[in-house]
């Protein structure tokens, strides 16, 4: 097998370009989920929010021929589901794991229903994805330039959203409140922070970014919709938050590791002759998961303490005086 075809210098740019493209939708959702979980919300509905964002984004762009409208629709769908999730988890304080799974089922059913009603007898609808931009000067840097600075506009919107969330989490007072409510809501409450209000907002942010991730996937990359188009990306986002030890920067790196390994295994399959090489192709499919799992275990062994927010998944009930 010609390894040069896979990791030679001319193959690196398409490899990393693919890896980054595969990673961005999941990374966007994962950073938002990290924000939600730092506030103490265990939001397992990310897959449902991404799927709704993907469908809403597609329908928005299909009818208005505007990528911007599609993106806004995607974010809006994510926010609506975020409201539903927050209503259940923060207002009614019901079991968060069940809420998340129910939300995913709901979103899967609703998107399939709406899609069938809107497009049932006509041929499969498609939209055109935005063209790649070419950022002057930066795009000419060898290797990194074509990978990072020749993507389409939605890529940069997603990156800006991720950086915005990280900035808010670590550099604003609100971000401090978020981290406090996740670690010790009673102390935050004593410091006059409204725990429920912070958790509400954190879930809306999580929903918005998940919806954005779904919209980026469909409007920015695929241009076509099918039932379950996100194919489990939301679940991977939830896992990436744990992998990144609830630090959004590591979450993004984890998403990139996963995406690049996925792109790599496809290239190895193509170069090695795939099934004819005698190597089970199922191993290639498992590779991204194995690599991510191995890194996570290695990091966890080396870590001194658990990184999980102490109040994750536990609803906060104010103690009534007297």
Choice between 216 and 239, CB closer to another protein = 216
R_g of the chain, CA atoms, integer Å? 20
> From residue 212 to residue 241, what is the string marking binding to another protein with x (rule CB under 8 A)?
-----x---xxxx-xxxx-x----------
What is d(CA 2, CA 271) in angstroms, rounded to the nearest whole number? Answer: 7
- In the complex, what is the shortest distance from the CB of residue 285 to another protein, in angstroms, rounded to a whole number? 4
Which of these ranges, 13-21, 199-207, 248-256, 306-314, lies near another protein under the rule CB under 8 A? 13-21
The dihedral built from the CA positions of residue 14, 19, 21 and 22, taken in this order, carries a sign that is: positive
- Structure tokens that stand for 133 in this block: 């931009």
- Structure tokens that stand for 19 in this block: 């890896």
> From residue 123 to residue 152, what is the string marking binding to another protein with x (rule CB under 8 A)?
xx-x--x-----------------------
Contact 40, 34 (CB under 8 A): no
What is d(CA 76, CA 199) in angstroms, rounded to the nearest whole number? Answer: 18
Residue 122 binds another protein, judged by CB under 8 A: yes
The dihedral built from the CA positions of residue 246, 247, 248 and 252, taken in this order, carries a sign that is: negative
Contact 158, 25 (CB under 8 A): yes
Contact 46, 217 (CB under 8 A): no
- In the complex, what is the shortest distance from the CB of residue 170 to another protein, in angstroms, rounded to a whole number? 31
Other CB atoms within 10 Å distance of the CB of residue 228: 12
Q: List phi, psi (to 5°) of 126.
A: -135, 160
Contact 109, 48 (CB under 8 A): no
- In the complex, what is the shortest distance from the CB of residue 117 to another protein, in angstroms, rounded to a whole number? 9
Total residues contacting another protein by CB under 8 A comes to 58
Contact set for another protein, span 245-274 (CB under 8 A)? 262-263, 266-267, 269-271, 273-274
* Residue with tokens 């399939």, as numbered in its chain: 112
Choice between 72 and 103, CB closer to another protein = 103
Which residues are paired to 124 by β-bridges?
A: none
- In the complex, what is the shortest distance from the CB of residue 37 to another protein, in angstroms, rounded to a whole number? 21
- In the complex, what is the shortest distance from the CB of residue 81 to another protein, in angstroms, rounded to a whole number? 12
List the one residue from 62, 63, 106, 174 that touches another protein (CB under 8 A). Answer: 106
List the one residue from 142, 192, 276, 301 that touches another protein (CB under 8 A). Answer: 276
Other CB atoms within 10 Å distance of the CB of residue 209: 34
List the one residue from 94, 194, 247, 308 that touches another protein (CB under 8 A). Answer: 94
Contact 234, 49 (CB under 8 A): yes
Choice between 64 and 126, CB closer to another protein = 126
- In the complex, what is the shortest distance from the CB of residue 121 to another protein, in angstroms, rounded to a whole number? 7
Residues lying near another protein in the complex (CB under 8 A) are found at 5, 11, 14-15, 18, 22, 88, 91-95, 98-99, 102-103, 105-106, 108-113, 115-116, 119-124, 126, 129, 217, 221-224, 226-229, 231, 262-263, 266-267, 269-271, 273-276, 281-282, 285
């Amino acid at each position: 097998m010609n390894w040069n075809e896979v990791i030679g210098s001319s193959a690196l740019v398409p490899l990393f370009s693919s890896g980054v493209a595969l990673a961005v939708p999941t990374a966007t959702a994962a950073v938002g989920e990290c924000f939600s979980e730092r506030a103490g919300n265990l939001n397992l509905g990310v897959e449902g929010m991404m799927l709704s964002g993907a469908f809403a984004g597609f329908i928005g762009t299909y009818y208005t021929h505007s990528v911007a409208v599609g993106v806004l629709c995607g974010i809006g769908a994510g926010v609506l589901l975020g409201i539903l999730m927050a209503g259940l988890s923060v207002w009614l304080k019901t079991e968060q794991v069940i809420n998340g799974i129910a939300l995913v089922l709901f979103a899967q059913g609703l998107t399939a229903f709406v899609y069938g009603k809107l497009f049932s007898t006509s041929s499969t609808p498609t939209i055109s994805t935005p063209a790649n931009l070419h950022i002057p000067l930066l795009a000419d840097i060898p290797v990194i330039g074509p990978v990072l600075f020749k993507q389409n506009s939605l890529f940069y919107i997603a990156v800006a959203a991720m950086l915005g969330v990280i900035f808010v989490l670590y550099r604003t007072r609100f971000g401090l409140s978020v981290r406090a409510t996740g670690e010790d809501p009673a102390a935050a409450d004593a410091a006059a922070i409204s725990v429920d209000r912070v958790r509400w907002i954190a879930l809306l942010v999580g929903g918005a970014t998940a919806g954005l991730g779904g919209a980026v996937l469909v409007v920015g990359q695929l241009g076509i919709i099918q039932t379950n188009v996100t194919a489990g990306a939301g679940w991977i986002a939830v896992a990436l938050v744990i992998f990144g030890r609830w630090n959004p920067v590591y979450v993004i790196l984890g998403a990139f590791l996963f995406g690049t390994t996925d792109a790599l295994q496809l290239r190895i399959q193509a170069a090695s002759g795939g099934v004819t090489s005698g190597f089970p192709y199922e191993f290639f499919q498992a590779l991204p998961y194995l690599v991510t799992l191995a890194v996570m275990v290695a990091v966890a062994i080396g870590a001194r303490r658990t990184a999980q927010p102490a109040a994750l998944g536990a609803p906060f009930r104010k103690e009534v005086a007297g």
